[in-house]
Chain A
Amino acid sequence: MDAILSIAKKEVMDNIRSKWIITTTITFVSVAIISSLIGAAFRGGSGLQDLRTTVMMMMMFIQYIIPIIGLMLGYAAIVGETERGTLSALIAFPVTRLEIIIGKFLGLGLVLSASIFLGFGIAGIIIGISVSNVDYGIYLLYILYSILLGLVFLSISMFFSSILKKRSGAMGMSIFTWSFFSFLWGMMLFGLMAANHVSSSSSDAGGFFALNLFSPAQVFNALVALSFGTQPLLVPSMGLSLFVDDFPDFYNAGLLVFLMLLWIPIMLILSYISFRYRDI
């Protein structure tokens, strides 16, 4: 346990010193503020919007930005250290490969969570001061869902970092994964539905909604829609409907959170399995 905490602490220090936390926090503050302003423009007004509208607008950006940041944070966790030569020194110390995987995930996860929490938190306070209708509870829930989304993609990138021998390969796979889950999966289902003349609101769409759950990005979208209600202007042109009324009965917040959480241990176990007997 001590080794896990030491590795996690090192990751946090490393990312503080490299200014990664500051950069991503500023990114998240900017996204939240810009989303709030755009929300107002969509509604024909001006200035910052209330937090619920801000959340719905943020979804447009966050569903793409958080996965890519999570992936970029983790893709070099193992393979980057292998290439630099620090991993061989680390493994020569009394630390197991499982501790390395867990310690790195904890440290990087903390870095990512802190960036999201600080970034959205600062923006939330700014917006809260400027508008009258403030529901911090809902906003906090959205922050937690966003952190969960980031952690899922972080765990996926750590898996690539464990199985691939080149940093460039891990980065390429991360970018592919991002586009696959953020765009391709939804488009593919949309295409299949069109080919089968099935609409989101029809009773035959249940199978497609079930398939939709294989993408953590799509699960996140559904979770946010389910928790905060759907605003029609945000419904994607490609992909399954985000109208809550179209959702099948088995779509509930508990299941969606569970499915997202499930990604993390699965990816970490796979990372460990591939890293356990790997030559350094």
Chain B
Amino acid sequence: MNTSDRPTAIQVNNLTKVYDRAPAVNNLTLNIKKGEIFGFLGPNGAGKTTTIKAMLGLIFATQGNVNIYGYDVHRYAKYVKKYVGYLPEKVAFYDNLTGLQNLHFYAELKNVPKSECYQLIKEMGLGDDLNKKVGKYSKGMLQRLGMARAILGTPQILILDEPSGGLDPRGVKLIRDKIKQLNQMEVTIFISSHILSEIQAVCTQVGIINKGVLVAQDTVGALSKNLQIKPRMILEITNLSEKIKQAVHKIEGVEKIEVINNKLEVFCLPESRAKVVIEVYKIGGNIVNIQTEEASLEDVFMRFTEG
């Protein structure tokens, strides 16, 4: 099924939330289709967590509303939340209870069999610590337990706020693999993260929010294309000279060049790369290394959030 044909899983309609007369989110509209992995990006204080809280009914919008599969998150709170899993940025549990007791409590609230808790804890690599009081867990262990809580009962929508926070590389991989696995089961995943590589690695769609306003929503590729952000080629030239730089800059398709020590960074379309290499050789440049990089999410992010 084409993505556009899928039903809308999360619909944010003209959401505005004002705190102390300052809008944290301003007239935000989002449509996230079923089965998408949606990356939500923005600088600190841009309104990401406020948007997530509105999606979960934790806060009340000044204007607008949020629907999950067409149901208002406040009016049908209990019904809607059966289908939603949430990993907050600040993961917290009841310190006096063990990891397993904590999960049992949440499983009861969702009518999920308790046997699933044990399985999830093991999957999250906490099998040896399930009977340890959560107060003694490290930040990384809490994050893993938080992920287990979020995916209890395999929710249809999973909302993750900074899922990699406090995790070691093994933990990051574990969560990333879990996200991909869930997505194969058509789970819609909404990820807010500062780690752009993480978003780029898993997300099918990206939304960028800046100062409470959604400034872009599309695939990373489409955003790069629309912004005309060109991929770059980095040439390491031992005898890099002014003459070489001027010659490269004049080549058709080259947008701009940057020089860092003996590295010439050339922003150009892929079809111009060969021309650049030939030109440098012609002038006598001694190229010892060539690297190419596609337009990154970081480029897109920086472009949309500058100023």
Contact = CB atoms under 8 A, between A and B. Distances in A.
A91 B159 CA distance: 14
A278 to B, nearest CB: 8
A85 B94 CA distance: 10
Contact of A91 (B57, B82, B91, B93): B57
A179 interface: no
A89 B92 contact: yes
A275 to B, nearest CB: 12
A277 B57 CA distance: 10
Contacts of B56: 88, 91-92
Given A6-B105, A91-B57, A86 B92 contact: yes
A96 B78 contact: yes
Interface extent on B, as a size class?
Answer: 20 to 34
A14 B94 contact: yes
B86 A92 contact: yes
9 contacts: A86-B93, A86-B94, A88-B53, A88-B58, A93-B109, A94-B110, A96-B77, A280-B58, A280-B59
A92 B97 contact: no
Contacts of A280: 53, 58-59
B211 interface: no
A138 B96 CA distance: 37
Nearest to A17: B96
* 3 tightest A-B CB contacts, nearest first: A85-B92, A17-B96, A92-B86
A167 to B, nearest CB: 14
State which size class the interface on A falls in. 20 to 34
A91 B92 CA distance: 13
Contacts, number: 76
A101 B247 CA distance: 73
Interface string B85-109: 0101011111011000100011011
A249 interface: no
B78 A95 contact: yes
B298 to A, nearest CB: 30
A13 interface: yes
Nearest to B60: A277
Given A13-B101, A84-B92, A6 B108 contact: yes
B281 interface: no
A95 B88 CA distance: 17
B84 A92 contact: yes
A18 interface: yes
A166 B234 CA distance: 54
B117 to A, nearest CB: 14
Contact of A85 (B53, B81, B90, B110): B90
Contacts of A17: 96-97, 133
B149 interface: yes
A14 B96 CA distance: 6
B92 A95 contact: no
B56 to A, nearest CB: 5
A256 B82 CA distance: 44
A3 interface: yes
Interface string A66-83: 000000000000000000
A88 B91 CA distance: 10
Nearest to A91: B58
A13 B92 contact: no
A18 B133 CA distance: 11
Contact of A89 (B59, B78, B82, B86): B86
B59 A6 contact: no
A14 B79 CA distance: 27
B105 A10 contact: yes
Interface in B160-190: none
Contacts of B88: 85, 88-89, 92
A81 to B, nearest CB: 9
A225 B202 CA distance: 71
